[in-house]
Amino acid sequence: MVEDHFFLWKELYDFYFKTANGIPTLHIRTEAFFPGEIIIALGDMSEKHLEQALLPYLPYREYVKPTFMEKGADWLTANFPLEHKAEK
């Protein structure tokens, strides 16, 4: 259950782990177009523990090809940073 929606295992596709802005997250992709992906911050849970809990129900993806939007966002972040480093 995520917020007020209950997901069945058959509605979920696979899962993988990713770190975004220094925060480790669990990504669970859904069969349906919407929501498409459920993203949950790990907090103090270990990836190994979650992997062992989810593997009987969902396939684990070690690598997920970045989407066009993710590539574009990475490029913008690298070339137009919002934070400026202080010059000495």
What residues does each domain of the chain span? 9-79
For the stretch 5-64, pLDDT in tens is: 888 999 999 999 999 888 999 999 999 888 889 999 999 999 999 999 999 999 999 988
Q: What is the pLDDT of residue 18?
A: 93
Provide the 10 A C-beta neighbour count for residue 3.
Answer: 6
**Using CA atoms, how far apart are residues 19 and 79, in angstroms rounded to an integer?**
20
Instruction: Check pLDDT > 80 for residue 71.
Output: yes
Instruction: Check pLDDT > 70 for residue 88.
Output: no
The amino acid present at 6, given as its one-letter code, is: F
The answer for residues whose C-beta is within 8 angstroms of residue 24's C-beta and 6 or more apart is: 17, 18, 41, 42, 47
Q: What is the pLDDT of residue 85?
A: 66
